[in-house]
Amino acid sequence: MLGITPPTKTLALAFAAFLGCAAHASGTVHAHWDYQGAHEGPANWAELDPTFETCAKGGSQSPIDISSTVKTDLPSLNFDYRKTEASIVNNGHTVQVNVPAGSQFKVGDQTYGLLQFHFHTPSEETIGGKHTAMVGHFVHKNAAGQLGVVAVLMQPGPMPRNEAYAPIFDHLPRPNEKITVEGMELDLAAMLPADKGYYSFDGSLTTPPCSESVNWMVLKRPIALGSGQIKAFRRLFNANARPVQPLNGRVIKESL
C-alpha cells in the first residue's frame, strides 16, 4: 500500500477526522457520533451522515484483530522523534496531543511527519482476540499526503507512572478544553517501546468518516503505563474504541 495516494476528497475527510476538526473544507458540519448508544454508536455511523457511508461499505476498515500473520522482512521503522512542546485537546471523543512539525519516521523509501497522537481505551486493535488496556495512535503524513498511523499498545505496569507520558496524564483536559502547559516538554522518543517490531496492514480511520487508504503499523511490544494514569483517562472516557472490523481477505504482515 505504500506509495498509493488516496483521492483528494477522501484525504480531506481523513485530515479533518484525525486532526479533530468538526467540519469539511466546505463548512458542512458532520453529524454527531458516539461510541455507545442505539442511534449514534458504531453500528449506525454510516446512517448518521452521507459522508460516513464508508464506515459500512468499506472493504479495508480498521481496527482489526491481529491473529493470522505472514512473517516477512519488513523495512525497519526508523524514528526521528524529538523533544517538543505540545497542546492537549479533549475533543469529546479522545484526548489528542498536537505537536509542531519536526518529528518523523522513515519506513522503506517513505518519510512520514508526525501530526498528532491520541488515545483509546481499551485498545482498538486486538492481538489474538485480546485487547490491551489502552493504545496510542501516532498519526503521520507523508509527502504524497498519505496517512501512516503507528499504534503503541499500552498495559498497566509495576511503576506508579510512566514519566514520558506524565506531562499529558497530569494535565488531562475536560471535554472541549484545550490546554497548553507553560514549560511542558514531551520526549516523544521515550514514548515508544525499545523493540520496534511491528504488524503492517492496509486500513482506515477508526472514526467517521472511516476513510480508507491508511497505512497501519502496530508495534508488537506494549509499553507500560501507571495504573493511575489509565484510571485518569478512563474517568474521562470509559470506553472509546471502535469494534474490530472484518479482515475481508487482507494480509497482515509481521516483521521478523
Residue pLDDT, tens place only, 98-145:
999 999 999 999 999 999 999 999 999 999 999 999 999 999 999 999
Question: Backbone dihedral region of 156: left (phi > 0), alpha (psi from -120 to 50 degrees) or beta?
Answer: beta
d(CA 36, CA 39): 8
Higher pLDDT, 168 or 26: 168
Nearest to 98 by CA among 40, 162, 184, 27: 184
Query: Residues 24, 39, 93, 137: which is the catalytic one?
Result: 93
Residue 247, pLDDT above cutoff 90: yes
Mean pLDDT of 78-94: 97
Mean pLDDT of 68-94: 97
Q: Would you call 171 a catalytic residue per the annotation?
A: no
Q: In a 3-state reduction of DSSP, which class is residue 17?
A: helix
> Mean pLDDT in the chain?
90
Residues constituting the chain: 256
Q: What is the pLDDT of residue 30?
A: 74
| 174-194 per-position pLDDT tens digit | 999 999 999 999 999 999 999
Q: All domains of the chain, ordered by start, with CATH?
A: 8-255 (3.10.200.10)
Q: Dig out the grid coordinates for 80 from the structure.
A: 526521528
Q: Dig out the grid coordinates for 93 from the structure.
A: 471523543
**Count of C-beta atoms within a 10 Å radius of residue 202:** 19
Contacts of the segment 161-164: beta carbons below 8 A, 24+ positions apart: 161/225, 161/226, 161/228, 161/229, 162/223, 162/224, 162/225, 162/226, 162/229, 163/190, 164/190, 164/191
Q: What is the pLDDT of residue 65?
A: 98
